[in-house]
Structure 1
Amino acid sequence: MTGGARAASPPRTADESSDAEKGPVVSSTTNRPAAPSLWKAWQYIFDWYPSHYSKEERRLLRKLDCFIMPLCCLMFFIKWLDQGNINNAYVSGMKEELHLNGNQYSLFGTFYNIGYLLFEIPSMMLISRPTLSRYYPPTMELLWGIVTFCQAKLRNEHDIFGIRFLLGVLETPASSGCLYILTSWYRADEVFKRAGVWYVSSNAGSMFGGYLQAAAYNNLNGVLDMSGWRWLFIIDGVISVPIAIAGFFLFPGIPQSPRVWWLTERDQQLARARMGDDGVKESTKIGKRMLKRVFLHWHFYIAIGTYVCFQCTSYVGGQMALWLKYEAEQHGTYTVPQINTIPTGVQGVAIVTGILSTSLCMVYPIWTTFTAASAVLLFCNVVLLVWDIPVGLHFTAYYLLGMTSCITPILFPWVNMIMKDDAEARAFTTGAMGFIVNTVLTVAYWCLFMLGQYLWTQELKRRQSQEVVDKDMVETEKETELGTSSTHVETTTNDEIKIERL
């Protein structure tokens, strides 16, 4: 009878075996070994699937690495590809074709930041919802891919301002959202090196964008009566949209989300058990208590303050292309393709140091790696502040600024780690880190621009007033000279008359 019953049941694969046959779900936290020696800790950097993990848990991690990591990396890669293409286009003919200037170039980032800051926190709140987190990021990615296509038809600065605002809104899930997803599936001792790999995908996007623009300029400039910089936006859109569509079928959301096809029911149970054992709380309702938990604890203020200060110093590296363009205009030193490809060395440094620094967090205390990277960045900023330095030192400083890739993949996982006991507060804080940063920078952009506009207007008024004064003085001097000459003639004539009388 027993054999007949088994023969009547449908065949099952190993992944589809019942929970009763496999036993209770157990995470490796109950089987964790003692602290390793320094040499073993260095070996652990390269061991993504530790031997003390169960076979089932190692298999789950491999699944996560095969699906979540590529999806998050590709989303972040595309985000930076589509965000940075405006810089490549600007130095590759867009400035001249659309008659743009430096102030308008600065406003491109301002409008992007306005859109980003308005939707960053709401976006993170949506990602923290189990049902929405599966479909929300791919939807936004698809929409920004379509908007990227639209940039090929830009006509003036007003079109650019509107497009950049929309991109800021649509790209909100790609940064903090991806890190929130990663820290929802990976434990604290697993997430740092994966966050490093994830973060350097942004540098790969920036590097790829430079080579892509150089290729578009050389091979597509003038094709179908379109400039090379317009083709860049079309190519970026072609890359973005298919990946977004794939996300609808592959993206898993968070462990509490409806199960995606590549995870079994037991996989999902194990994922939730792992994070629960690590102290990560599951999502609950959003309400006033959440805001109270956020604003009455120090975590929020330390996270925000640190990220604001970091972001205010990280934008310098993006100016290398403008410096090369200036050198080309002044001395004819570099060609357009070189202006697009030389700065990619910064991204190369960023990729190496980003992965290395996050891996070192598994060996040394987090603060030591963070401090070392910050010291190098301080040196670079001081060097560029002096400015009147050899060209070689310019290149050294710009390339070492690639070490900004060390900061974010350490800071964000650390914030997620210290706030792991409150999912909503964690989502709100990581969203606010981008929100507050963009608020500060947008206000700073606007204030400095308006100050410059005011000072320029006052300077024009002073020049006009000075020109009027100078003109009056010239006319007065001419009148004085004419008067003096007339008096001299009269005196001479009188003297001659007196001589004749004598």
Structure 2
Amino acid sequence: MVYTVTVLYPNEADAKYDLEYYLSHHLPLVDRLWRKYGLHGWTVVKYGPGVTEDRIPYSFGCVLFYEDDNAAKQAFKGPEAAEVLGDISKFSNKQPLFLLATWLWGQDPRDRALLAKLDVTLLPYFSLIWFLFGVTRSSYSSAYISGMREALGFEGKEYNYMSTAYLVVYAVCQMPGTSLLTVVRPKYVFVTANVTWSVLTLITYKMTRAWQVILLNAIEGGFSAIAYVGAQFILASWYKKSELGMRAAVFCVFGQLGTLSGGWIQAGLLETLAGKGGLPAWKWIFIIVSVMTIPVALFGWVFIPDLPSHRAAWYLTDEQKEHAATRLGSISKKSWDTTVFKRVLLSWQFWLLPFVFMLYSVCVQMLGNNVMAYWLASRGYTVVQQNTYPTVIHATAVVGIVVYAAISDKLQSRWEVSIAIGLTFVIGSAILVSTPSTDAGYFVAFYLLGTTYAPQAVWYSWMADVTGHDLQLRAITTGFMNSFDFAFVTWWPLVFYPVTDAPNFRKGYIASLVTGMLTLPVIGLIAYLEKRDTARGIIGRTRATSLLEEDRVIPRGNEPGKYGSTAITVRNTKDGV
């Protein structure tokens, strides 16, 4: 956690400032008196002339970096504060404005205003949709072991066929779906898909045969395809690299909470709603989820801001719309032309990111397909326990997603946490392959592997980092990441986790160990290529030149040029930090 205090000096006609005194005397005084309170360093920004009168009401400002919010508060409450604040009159005839903010919304006042709105509109919509998606998908597995199998006459591998039918259509529709978002306003795409998805979910409870549910699942897969990859594409269009990981984590966490809730909801229905209205308990969840989806779709119709380039969000000011459209930098490739497919197919991003994500997806198949539930049944656990104990996997997934995303945002680098995830694949799978002699060993393995759901946030953010310069490459790769892994996930359970192998899925555990090990060298290769191409200026968005005219560093200490702790960075800007 990094806590910032922004000190802004007003740009007024009668304002008089001695910036030389400020840099040579005041800031060293601040450092000497407040470093013991956890002050790490600062960045000083001087705003350029010509624009400030209209848009930036400050002449210059300073961002102070503290260890945490308590450290900053203690500095301002301590006896040294009087000397620091009293020194202001020696270089300024105006009192500054103090703004306190955590890393969540950053130190730029314009970013804070924009992100505060996005985080209560854009992010909640996609998070709620993904939550409902998780509830719906978990409902099928819960319903299957809670009465649907017998009621609809599922036999042999028909449950696997149901999942496969869904996944095939889901995978096929993802690349067209994300590509559609670049030519049609996202609001129309998402709301149409949400409403259709809700209707299909409702119809499920009326089905009387297994083949009907299989067919309905396939159709639902087409309209659900945009939920995950489309959300990842939109989030990466609005949030910076340092902001994206945690927002993607929040989005993915809601999916895990939905999956977790599905099991608990179904367990509750078994005890409270069985027989109500003449319906078995497993049917009620489909009715409830369908009803829940409609208000969320209406929320999306009102609050989805489309893409920044559309400048269409009614709740953003004109200045915020312009800031959103430019703050991530310019995209070198925007249009669909004859070079698109050549650019995409010859890029390493299009092949390596989907490949490593596929390895992750097949590795964690032991966390789905009712693998843990079958093992619990074989050990004599009750039906309620079979529904609830596997939900802890999704609780550990929440922890893994948030922690890894926070670390990657802090580092502004994804490869370090990716290596940690890969090692967890190996350790967890190895425990299962060893056939633990106690139940505790299995619980540890399953729950530890739950943390490896983190790539849902971290690796999609990584993909956005390395494709941000090319809109079409990002759109197509976003869809292909899920489509490619589903090309394997659709048949992987049939081979490695067939129902007929329950409860001992040893060959599946071995397959997960192998694929988990393969992620490590691929992660290393992606990290190398990212570093190489970033240095060459090939990847990454181009910052608008009007934002930064001068960036000069005034050293203080023995390591000149080190950001924050050993240098003062003074930026001359037209539009702000």
Quick check: TM above 0.5? Answer: yes
Q: 1:348 to 1:442 in 2, by over 3 A?
A: closer
Aligned counterpart, 1:464: none
Correspondences of 1:61-100 after superposition (within 5 Å): 61-100=115-154
Are 1:114 and 2:145 an aligned pair?
no
- State the Cα deviation string for residues 116-164 of structure 1 (Å, max 9, x = none): 12211110011122x4212211210111011111111121121111111
Cα drift, residue 366 of structure 1: 2.3
1:361 corresponds to = 408
Counterpart of 2:387, as a letter, is N
* Matches for 1:24-423 after TM superposition, within 5 Å: 47-51=103-107, 53=108, 55-129=109-183, 131-257=184-310, 259-276=312-329, 280-281=330-331, 284-319=334-369, 321-328=370-377, 330=378, 333-364=380-411, 365-423=413-471
How far residue 268 of structure 1 moved from its aligned partner, in angstroms, is 0.8
Deviation of 1:283 after TM superposition, in Å, equals 7.3
CA distance in 2, matches of 1:297, 1:31: 42
Aligned to 1:424: 472
Cα separation, partners in 2 of 1:32 and 1:351, compared to 1, 3 Å: farther
Matches of 1:358 and 1:204, distance apart in 2:
17
Between the aligned partners of 1:283 and 1:181, the Cα distance in structure 2 is 17
1:422 deviates by: 0.4
Q: d(CA) in 2 for partners of 1:31 and 1:358?
A: 30
Distance apart, 1:431 and its partner CA = 0.5
For 2:167, the aligned partner's letter is N
Once the two structures are TM-superposed, the CA of residue 84 in structure 1 deviates from its matched residue by 2.1
DSSP 3-state at the match of 1:135: helix
Aligned AA (2:404): S
Deviation at residue 49 of structure 1 after TM alignment = 1.8
User: 2:355 touches 2:484 (CA, 8 Å); kept in 1?
Assistant: no
Shift of 1:309: 0.8
Partner Cα separation in structure 1 for residue 480 and residue 117 of structure 2: 31
* CA distance in 2: counterparts of 1:415 and 1:431, whole angstroms: 11
Consecutive unaligned residues of structure 1, counting only runs of 5 or more, are: 1-18, 453-502
Larger of the two Rg values belongs to structure = 1
Deviation at 1:400, TM superposition (A): 1.2
Indicate how the Cα distance of structure 1 residues 38 and 315 shifts in structure 2: closer, same or farther if over 3 A, else same.
farther
Alpha-carbon spacing, 1:32–1:175, altered in 2? closer, same or farther (3 Å): farther
How much does 1:336 deviate? 2.1
Q: 1:306 to 1:326 in 2, by over 3 A?
A: closer
Distance 1:378 1:163, change over 3 A: same
| Residue deviations 1:167-187 (CA, integer Å, cap 9, x gap) | 210111111111111110111
Q: Which amino acid aligns with 1:356?
A: V
Q: Which residue of 1 aligns with 2:54?
A: 23
Please report the TM-score for the alignment, with normalisation by the length of structure 1: 0.77
CA contact 1:45–1:360 (8 Å) conserved in 2? no
- What SS does the aligned partner of 1:288 have? coil
Question: In the aligned structure 2, how far is the partner of 1:230 from the partner of 1:121?
Answer: 32
Cα distance in 1 for partners of 2:384, 2:488 equals 34
In percent, how many aligned pairs have the same letter?
24
Q: Find the aligned partners of 1:227 and 1:160 in 2 and give their Cα distance.
A: 16
The code of the aligned residue for 2:54 comes to G
Please, what is the CA RMSD of the aligned residues?
3.0
> What is the distance in 2 between the residues matched to 1:343 and 1:96?
22
Which consecutive residues of structure 2, in runs of 5 or more, have no partner in the other structure?
1-49, 73-99, 501-577
Contact 1:146/1:241 (<8 A) preserved? no
CA contact (8 A) 1:45 1:362 kept: no
TM superposition score normalised by structure 2:
0.67
Structure-2 change in CA distance of 1:32 and 1:150 (3 Å): farther
Q: Letter of the aligned partner of 1:338 in structure 2?
A: Q
Query: For the Cα contact (< 8 Å) 1:25–1:273, is it kept in 2?
Result: no
Flag the 1:282–1:133 CA change in 2: closer, same or farther, 3 A. farther
The 3-state SS of whatever aligns with 2:315 is: coil
Decide whether aligned partners of structure 1 residues 297 and 32 sit closer, same or farther in structure 2, where only a CA change above 3 A counts: farther
CA distance in 2, matches of 1:348, 1:390: 22
**Cα shift at 1:57:** 2.4
The structure with the largest strand share of the pair is: 2
Is the CA contact (8 Å cut-off) linking 1:128 and 1:283 kept in structure 2?
Answer: no
Aligned letter for 2:442?
A: H
The question of whether the paired residues in 1 share the 8 Å contact of 2:242 and 2:410 is answered with no
Distance 1:102 1:24 in 2: 68
Matched AA of 1:176: V
Q: Return the structure number with greater helix share.
A: 1
Asked whether 1:434 is paired with 2:477, we answer no
Q: Residue 485 of structure 1 aligns with which residue?
A: none
Cα distance in 2 for partners of 1:448, 1:366 equals 30
What amino acid maps onto 2:130 in structure 1? Answer: F
**Counterpart-to-counterpart distance in 1, 2:326 and 2:286:** 44
Aligned partners of 1:121 and 1:431 also within 8 Å:
yes
Q: How many residue pairs align between the two structures?
A: 419
Contact 2:362–2:488 (8 Å) recurs in 1:
no
Q: Contact 1:25–1:270 at 8 Å: present in 2 too?
A: no
**Residue 91 of structure 1: how far off its partner (Å):** 1.1
Residues 327-359 of structure 1 show CA distances to partners (whole Å, capped at 9, x for unaligned) of: 43x45x322222211111111111122111110
The answer on whether the counterparts of 2:396 and 2:447 sit within 8 Å (CA) in structure 1 is yes
1:244-275 alpha-carbon deviations (Å, 9 max, x no partner): 12211111111122512212222110101102
